[in-house]
Amino acid sequence: MDARIVLNIKGQNVTFAPTPEIYNDYINAMQANNKVAPSHNFVMRCAVADDKDRVRELLALPGASVQIAGAIVEQYAPDLNIMVGEFSA
């Protein structure tokens, strides 16, 4: 599932192109005590070439990598509506 996601960040449109490989690498790198570095790498890998300089500037802001990564994932990963329990077919 390749996608183009446009986020408006601080009044600027920024385009990201996550892929299953980039997404899976991000999820695999996340650890309880290590969220900033994987988020930074994920955001930079998803940013389209024309927007990479703009993204680098944004990532210099405190907390930006985690917020931007969260917004990309929210748009990219499907909501499967999973429920736990016994259900009749």
State the average pLDDT over residues 45-65: 97
What distance in Å separates the CA atoms of residue 44 and residue 54, rounded to the nearest whole number?
A: 10
- CA 33, 49, 56, 9 torsion: positive or negative? negative
Please report the pLDDT score of residue 28 as a whole number: 95
Please report the pLDDT score of residue 2 as a whole number: 64
For residue range 1-54, what is the model confidence (pLDDT) as tens digits? 568 999 999 999 999 999 999 999 999 999 889 899 999 999 999 999 999 999
Please determine, for residue 89, whether its predicted confidence score (pLDDT) is greater than 70. no
Please determine, for residue 81, whether its predicted confidence score (pLDDT) is greater than 90. no
Top pLDDT among 50 and 88 is at: 50
Dihedral Cα 43, 23, 28, 13, nearest 10 deg: 20
